[in-house]
Amino acid sequence: MEAAYGLAITLTMIATTILLWAFLRTRKVKQRYVWTITIVFMTICLAFLVANAEKFPHGGWVSIAVSGLLLDLCSFGLGREKSKIDTASLSLYIPTCNVLPT
């Protein structure tokens, strides 16, 4: 199962690069910098992935299967409709909160 280790690390690097891309976009960093950093890191990650590709038939498929399962679970959770819960106004609870001891 040591073959799965290199692929798992590489997949973690790819996921971290994608999260870094999303983080930099939310921080309103200039697009030029965001894409430059992302392309540099992704190039390194993909080089490691290609180097570890020979490990795939020797047990590396396990890490791919687990990450695929997790991706499936996450995308299922994101694809659900938001539950329609009735929300009450906070003004209904203010008198009760004022009575509580501090």
pLDDT surpasses 90 at 60: no
Domain count, the chain: 1
Q: Is residue 56 part of a domain?
A: yes
pLDDT tens digits for range 61-98: 887 788 788 878 877 765 555 555 556 677 777 888 88
Q: Report the predicted TM-score, pTM, of the whole model to 2 decimal places.
A: 0.61
Report residue 53: phi and psi, to 5°.
-65, -30
Domain that holds residue 62: 2-77
**Residue tagged 């590396």 (tokens):** 60
Q: Is residue 26 part of a domain?
A: yes
Q: Taking residues 33-47, what's their average pLDDT?
A: 94
Q: Of the candidates 64, 70, 48, 60, which has an alpha carbon nearest to the alpha carbon of residue 5? A: 60
Q: Is residue 94 part of a domain?
A: no
- Per DSSP (E only), the strands in the chain are none
Q: Of the candidates 76, 13, 79, which has an alpha carbon nearest to the alpha carbon of residue 49? A: 13
